[in-house]
Amino acid sequence: MDRYITVTSTSQNPANFVSNFTDAVDFSSEYEVGLKAVFHAPLNNVTGKNNMFSIRKAQTVEHYSIPPGFYIDSCHILRAIKQELDNAVTNDASEILKANPTFKYKAGGEQAVLSLPKGVLFYVDDREPQLLHVLGFCVEAAFNEININVFAFINELISGFLYSSIVGNSIIDHKQSRLLAIVPMHSAQGYSYHEFQNPVYNSLSVHSFTQASFVFTDEQGVELPMQYDHEGIVQNPTILVLHMRLRSR
């Protein structure tokens, strides 16, 4: 008899979570599991690897960073940069920035401008990667303001490798792995949804369980950074629909 089980990452990291069951879930040794559908939050387009930016006055350079996360468009990043610099001014944490940067729209809202006080410059060097590279500033330069068109970031698509503790071991690249499914993962605003018309089924590693763990990684095995802010409200928990069925003979 087929069964469908829905699990969620509510109040947990959407890329790495454990689902607990009040009662044990029991299956005979004849059952196998496949991923039927997945809802997931956007993949972060700003991570701990590309969230740093720099400002300079004369020979003094200061480095700042915005919070990792999914940023909808170029204006969203500019406002995050302004917030970090406003905080530095408020907390007197900068040697070179003593007044708040200014932000404004131009051309009926189609352009956004973030300007630093006179003598203070945004600074892009040859290190990789940096936040301003995301906005298109990719060569070494120094400039007093960022004047750019407001544009939405392109929806990126990568392969997400979903592993689970309830899946039996299989061999991938000569290593044992509990791979449940390979999922097309999007970096786009709101929930992304994918339904498998023909899921790949795997043997169960156990036939009675009260919890199951799930981890999304990239093809290098690095956990995927997905939008999540447990303390500040923004949450789109991962939802997985698992299909349990008897193995075909």
Q: Which of 196, 63, 77 is nearest to 124 (CA)?
A: 63
Query: Please, what is the end-to-end C-alpha distance for the chain in angstroms?
Result: 14
> What does the chain come to in residues?
249
Q: Could you give the CA distance from residue 54 to residue 126 in angstroms, rounded to a whole number?
A: 12
For 90-101, what is each residue's pLDDT tens digit? Answer: 999 999 999 999
* pLDDT the model gives residue 155: 84
Return left, alpha or beta for 16; rule: phi > 0 is left, psi -120 to 50 is alpha, else beta: beta
pLDDT of residue 1: 73
Cα angle value 148/41/191 (rounded, 5°): 90
Cα–Cα distances (Å) from 43 to 130, 145, 160, 240, in that order, read 18, 29, 10, 16
What is the structure's pLDDT at 149? Answer: 94
How many CB atoms sit inside 10 A of residue 228's CB? 22
Q: pTM for the complete prediction?
A: 0.83
Residue 181's pLDDT is what?
A: 95
Q: What pLDDT is attached to residue 208?
A: 86
- Residue 108: its pLDDT value, please? 81
The reported pLDDT for the residue numbered 154 is: 85
Q: Which residues of the chain have pLDDT under 70?
A: 171-174, 229-234, 249
One-letter amino acid of 28: S
Domains and CATH numbers, the chain: 3-45+155-246 (2.60.120), 52-149 (no CATH)
